[in-house]
């Protein structure tokens, strides 16, 4: 368990505090530590082993205990999912949508290992992309010029045999991450111009210092409050036909429908508990996964201004909202809250910090 977790965290060094002792004893201790470290390095980076093979025998008890805990968590999450899907099926507004096959373009897959994971935008999609890219490269014996096969336009015929993981995060945290990704990056100024102009003319905000007397496509940036007002007023498809990048905040159930009987997730991964959830998912992989692939599991596309899970950043943005708007957002994303067990409580507290 500890070795596997250390790979995911990319902890390359062990830090020890040695007590005062004679020089000879200190050298002996250091020699032992270095020897163990070299052995671990060999096992983790050279030896082609399975995940279970990466765990030394003296960690087996902890490893099994952690597996048991996260498997119990998965049972609970799938129970919530099942009940949520039943509730949605009884609602005419959602019944038809839940019959749709999940969009395969949001999945990363590995055919030899029969492994698949759905990661919508702003839910660690690029992290898993690199992981599955590494698996695919290994399957091609390192041939970088060969055809890449980890993202497909159609579901494989044997997709029912794949181990499927669905990764999510709190819908409101994802909404904030999407806002910052689209509106706070210079590279998106041109592509977001039409939406920003619509927001400018539709949702006035006197507290927004970029809202000048006339719309300036290079200066105006909607406030988070204006953006949320736009989202809750958008159509059933979140106006993705008009603004393709709205896929960044399109609800999970519309991208990776977990209620379809043939595509139900085997594992539900929450970004809030990414480490044990990833352990559960990869431990159950039908095929071998070695340390080279595990080392590619790293967070990418990190905002230079900080991660949207930061309490300070969440307070900065959500304190712009009021309780009424917060509840309207929840209603807009109600299916995601329902089937994945999220609630508003953490964000209600942010409103009190104004």
**95 assigned to some structural domain:** yes
Residue-level pLDDT at 54: 42
* Band of residue 156 on the pLDDT scale cut at 50, 70, 90: very high
On the question of pLDDT at 274 being above 50, the answer is yes
49-100: pLDDT as tens digits: 344 444 334 345 577 888 889 899 999 999 999 999 999 999 999 988 999 9
SS3 164: strand
* Band of residue 346 on the pLDDT scale cut at 50, 70, 90: confident
Lowest mean pLDDT among 64-68, 259-263, 267-271: 64-68
**Chain-centroid distance, C-alpha 150:** 18
Q: Report the C-alpha gap between 271 and 115 in whole angstroms.
A: 19
Q: Report the C-alpha gap between 85 and 88 in whole angstroms.
A: 5
**43 assigned to some structural domain:** yes
β-partners of residue 270 are 168
**58 assigned to some structural domain:** yes
Q: Report the C-alpha gap between 349 and 50 in whole angstroms.
A: 44
On the question of pLDDT at 18 being above 90, the answer is no
Enter the tokens of residue 164.
Answer: 């499927």
141-152: pLDDT as tens digits: 877 777 889 999
Residue-level pLDDT at 35: 46
Of 115, 160, 128, the closest CA to residue 286 belongs to 115
- The residue-averaged pLDDT of 348-353 equals 77
Backbone angles phi, psi at 276, to 5 degrees: -65, -30
**173 assigned to some structural domain:** no
Q: Give 134's Cβ-side CA count (13 Å radius).
A: 17
Q: Which of residues 328 and 350 earns the better pLDDT score?
A: 328
167-224: pLDDT as tens digits: 999 999 999 999 999 999 999 999 999 999 999 999 988 788 788 888 988 889 999 9
For the chain, the C-alpha Rg in angstroms (whole number) is 23
pTM: 0.80
Domain housing 15:
1-168+223-354
* Band of residue 271 on the pLDDT scale cut at 50, 70, 90: very high
**179 assigned to some structural domain:** no
On the question of pLDDT at 46 being above 70, the answer is no
**93 assigned to some structural domain:** yes
Q: How many domains in the chain?
A: 1
**121 assigned to some structural domain:** yes
Average pLDDT score over the chain: 82
Lowest mean pLDDT among 33-37, 227-231, 285-289, 316-320: 33-37
Q: Which of residues 256 and 46 earns the better pLDDT score?
A: 256
- The residue-averaged pLDDT of 15-41 equals 42
Q: Which of residues 289 and 120 earns the better pLDDT score?
A: 120
92-124: pLDDT as tens digits: 999 889 999 999 999 999 999 999 999 999 998
Q: Which whole-number Å values give the CA distances from 256 to 152, 175, 177, 230, 244, in the listed order?
A: 15, 17, 19, 23, 17
**13 assigned to some structural domain:** yes
- The residue-averaged pLDDT of 3-27 equals 41
Per the CB < 8 A criterion, the answer to whether 120 and 256 are in contact is yes
β-partners of residue 107 are 118
């Amino acid at each position: 368990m500890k070795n596997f977790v250390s790979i995911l965290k990319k902890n390359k060094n062990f830090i020890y505090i040695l007590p005062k002792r004679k020089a000879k004893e200190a050298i002996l201790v250091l020699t032992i530590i270095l020897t163990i470290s070299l052995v671990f390095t060999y096992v983790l980076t050279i030896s082609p082993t399975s995940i279970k093979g990466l765990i030394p025998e003296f960690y087996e008890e902890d490893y099994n205990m952690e597996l048991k805990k996260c498997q119990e968590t998965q049972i609970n999450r799938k129970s919530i999912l099942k009940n949520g899907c039943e509730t949605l099926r009884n609602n005419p507004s959602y019944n038809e949508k839940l019959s749709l096959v999940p969009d395969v373009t949001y999945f990363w897959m590995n055919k030899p290992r029969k492994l698949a994971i759905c990661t919508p935008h702003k839910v660690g999609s690029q992290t898993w992309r690199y992981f599955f890219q590494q698996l695919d490269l290994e399957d091609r014996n390192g041939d970088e010029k060969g055809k890449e096969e980890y993202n497909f336009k159609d579901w494989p015929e044997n997709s029912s045999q794949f181990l499927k993981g669905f990764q999510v995060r709190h819908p409101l945290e994802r909404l904030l991450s999407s806002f910052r990704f689209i509106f706070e990056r210079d590279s998106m100024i041109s592509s977001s111009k039409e939406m920003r102009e619509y927001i400018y003319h539709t949702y006035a905000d006197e507290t927004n210092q970029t809202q000048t007397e006339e719309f300036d496509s290079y200066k105006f940036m909607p406030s988070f409050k204006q953006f949320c007002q736009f989202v809750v007023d958008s159509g059933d498809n979140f106006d993705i036909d008009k603004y393709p990048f709205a896929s960044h905040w399109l609800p999970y159930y519309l991208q990776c429908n977990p209620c379809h009987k043939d595509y139900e997730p085997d594992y539900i991964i929450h970004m809030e508990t990414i480490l044990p959830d990833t352990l559960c998912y990869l431990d159950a992989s039908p095929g071998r996964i070695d340390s080279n692939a595990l080392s590619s599991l790293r967070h990418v596309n990190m905002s230079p201004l900080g991660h949207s899970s930061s309490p300070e950043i969440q307070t900065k943005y959500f304190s712009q909202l009021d309780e009424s708007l917060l509840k309207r957002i929840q209603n807009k994303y109600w299916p995601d809250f329902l089937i994945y067990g999220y609630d508003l409580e953490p964000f209600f507290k942010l409103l009190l910090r104004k």
